[in-house]
Amino acid sequence: MKRLSNIALLCCIASTLILASCSSSTTPAPDKNYFPLTVGNSWTYDGVETEDKSGTATDIDSTKYTSTTTVDAALTYQGKSAYRMVRVTSDGTKDTSYISKSGSQMYSYIALNPGDGGGAGAVGDVDFGSRWMLVADYNATSWTILDTTITNIPFDVGGGTILTGKAGVKISGSKGSVVSISVGTETVQAQEFTMTVGMTITITVPLLGDQVIPINVIQKTYVAENIGIVKTETLPFSITAVGNTSASNGNRETLKTYEVVK
């Protein structure tokens, strides 16, 4: 059986869920075009990682970058009419995602398989499945994106010790208020959406019993009519496992320029 270290597992799954779900937080109302999907449309963002300083998400200046997302193609993907979204960052990293609209509902094809955790003793993956998911219903104020659990996961805790555990994950979304956001020289009205990724890792430790490791990641997305995503922010979070706390940076991207055919 393949193995995966506990910290690598947590970080890989959490980051995969966030990245895979980024484009799914753009829930428009039926009469508003919050996400123009004409092929060739593109959005360029200024991005930066953030860290928790006394409860405040603070920029880490050395991590600044830019990213551009483009509607690359309209096509049929895994049985649905969809749009292919290609995201390229200033360091050359390229990601591809797929979204599909059906009436008042939006779907995203999410591959929840983090892959190789990397690092010493971390070989293997944990697969939550790859499928189209109903990530939003335009007529709802809240919705569940994913609610699943995988059992009998091997955790490599070092020294040749393998423990067994399970991982449950629930992703939910909700619609917030309308706020003013600056985009270049203009100020736009943007609808706020919040995505919450909740995960619970349970590891059975000899003599100690079940050790529960909760993870909660919050991402806010702001979309403007006939423009698209104008801002995303994933808040910094921490993971506490067996008395040890590990901090994970957040991330913020703000729209810089865009080319959109409505």
| Res 106: pLDDT | 75
User: Do 150 and 166 touch, CB atoms closer than 8 A?
Assistant: yes
What are residue 76's phi and psi, to 5 degrees? -100, 125
- Collapsing DSSP to helix, strand or coil, 19 comes out as helix
Phi, psi angle pair for 128, to nearest 5°: -90, 0
Structure tokens at 52: 């928790």
Residue owning tokens 């995201």 = 87
Bridge partners (DSSP) listed for residue 153: 165
Structure tokens at 105: 């509902």
pLDDT of residue 31: 55
pLDDT at residue 13, rounded to an integer: 43
pLDDT confidence of residue 117: 40
Q: What are the strands, taking DSSP E only, across 60-104?
A: 65-77, 80-89, 94-102
Distance of CA 199 to the CA centre of its chain: 13
Quote the pLDDT of residue 239: 85
Distances (CA, A) of 242 to 207, 211, 213: 13, 7, 8
DSSP state letters, 192-238: EEEEEEEEEEEEEETTTEEEEEEEEEEEEEEEETTTEEEEEEEPPEE
Per-residue confidence in pLDDT tens, the chain, 262 aa: 333 344 444 444 444 444 444 444 445 445 577 888 899 999 999 999 999 998 899 999 999 999 999 999 999 999 999 999 999 999 999 999 998 987 767 788 887 654 444 333 333 345 667 788 877 677 788 988 889 888 888 877 666 778 888 888 898 989 889 999 999 889 999 988 898 989 888 888 888 888 888 989 999 989 899 998 999 999 999 888 767 788 899 999 999 999 999 7
